[in-house]
Amino acid sequence: MALLPLYILKSTRPKIVIIGGGYAGLAALTTLRRYSADVEITLIDPGTHHLKITHLHETFRYPLSDLQVSYTLLEQRFDCRHIRSALTIDEAALCQWQERGCLQLKEEAVPFDYLLVATGARQNCLDGVSGDVAENVLVLEDFCTAAGSDLLDTFLEKQDSAASCISVIGGGATGIQFLFELAGFLHRRRVSHSLRLIDDKARVLQQFPPGFASYIEKRMLELDIEFFPGVYFLEQRNNQILLEEQASRRQFELPSMLSLVFTGNRQNNLIETNLFGQVKAGGKLLENVFAAGDGSVYPSLGSNSMTAQSAVRKGKLAARNMLRYSGLLKVLEPYLHRDLGYVVSLGPEDAVGWLVLENNVVTGVPVMVIKEAVETRYDLLLSGVDTYLV
């Protein structure tokens, strides 16, 4: 059905507003423009650039600007309007927007016929990450505003020459990718500080087949990276971290000059939809409000994983369905996309992932080829060339 939008335009030009300029939001934007030159599109996002957030670990090698696409450029390329603004989104707001057909921003009122909420899930926060230890802790948001190489160079310049340890907290995909990029950065800089991984799970990448963990932990041994599984991170105190063993609840400290904390995304306040991406809130269906991205849950066989590929597929489907719903034929398409693979980067020359079947674990060069192909596909989408078949 993706190749047959079944979109027969009515006499009026539909106004569509997208909240959120991440993967889902821009997938929807490009899809809307692909199928309709008439639709009026407004993108609301507080930033000035779209950021390929899943590639932030690569800023230990490349400038942050390589991962940014200006919304001004996207306005020109896709004939849309970008408004810099942030909105508080909850059930009450969603119901109010549906009823009024309008968003009230500080600057102006923005009317719409159809609304897409494409805001992503936010990273979890820990009590040990607070203002008085900010100079010893980096979180994902820090890498959204400065390259990893710049952040580490600035930090290391303030330290004495004594060798110490840098801790990475979190054995999920983000933590692992940052860990290996950081190892490569320290090696290139000939810095003698060691690395340590802290994870509250029994093995890294708990959500993936055991083959992922076996390969990664072997690579960690080769790089002399310490691993503390089943351990909670509690706090960074100056040049020490406070930890707690999951089983015994014993607390202990280890030397650590810096902690990079990646604790995953929040699972609360997710927006529920129907099979077609229309939002359900306040006990009713909001026919003119759709949702996509990490912040949405579709009740179907389709993937609800918090990944860029799922966000893109949801965004594209929601865009097609908004067009269908605005036309004379309201034949909507259910969300059925299943992830075809997943890749975790282990630096510039290695990776581990699965392809087609989750137990089909592949490593090394074949995975790097898959990774490059997926990234090229998304870059083409932002340039206006859609190579996604479904």
Residue type (1 letter), 52: K
Same fold, 15-122+266-338 and 131-261: yes
Residue 148 has pLDDT above 80, yes or no: yes
Residue, of 37 and 244, whose pLDDT is higher = 244
The values of phi and psi at residue 235, to 5°, are -165, 150
Tokens of 39: 């639709």
- The arithmetic mean of pLDDT across residues 34-48, rounded, is 94
Enclosing H/E stretch for 181: helix 173-188
CA geometry: angle at 180 spanning 179 and 181, to 5°? 95
Residue 192 has pLDDT above 80, yes or no: yes
- The arithmetic mean of pLDDT across residues 136-153, rounded, is 96
- The arithmetic mean of pLDDT across residues 270-285, rounded, is 95
Distance CA(325)–CA(314), nearest Å, equals 16
Q: How confident is the model at residue 177 (pLDDT cuts 50, 70, 90)?
A: very high
Q: How confident is the model at residue 123 (pLDDT cuts 50, 70, 90)?
A: low
Architecture of the 131-261 domain: 3-Layer(bba) Sandwich (3.50)
Residue, of 162 and 367, whose pLDDT is higher = 367
CA distances, 375 to each of 15, 149, 223, 273, 378 (Å): 31, 22, 27, 28, 5
pLDDT, one tens digit per residue, over 289-327 is 999 999 999 998 888 988 898 999 999 999 999 999 998
Tokens of 17: 């507003």
Residue 203 has pLDDT above 70, yes or no: yes
Eight-state DSSP code of residue 283: T
Domain 15-122+266-338 has CATH 3.40.1260.10: no
Least confident of 120-124, 130-134, 218-222: 130-134
Domain boundaries, the chain: 15-122+266-338, 131-261, 340-390
Distance CA(343)–CA(353), nearest Å, equals 4
Cβ atoms of 197 and 216 within 8 Å: the answer is no
Residue 103 has pLDDT above 90, yes or no: yes
Cβ atoms of 19 and 119 within 8 Å: the answer is yes
Give the largest Cα separation in the chain, rounded.
Answer: 72
- What's the confidence (pLDDT) of residue 310? 93
- The arithmetic mean of pLDDT across residues 9-13, rounded, is 70
Q: Which residue has the tokens 């979890």?
A: 124
Residue, of 328 and 187, whose pLDDT is higher = 187
State how far Cα 9 lies from the chain centre.
34
Residue 169 has pLDDT above 50, yes or no: yes
| pLDDT winner (highest mean) among 1-5, 82-86, 235-239, 324-328 | 82-86
Percent of the chain surpassing pLDDT 90:
69
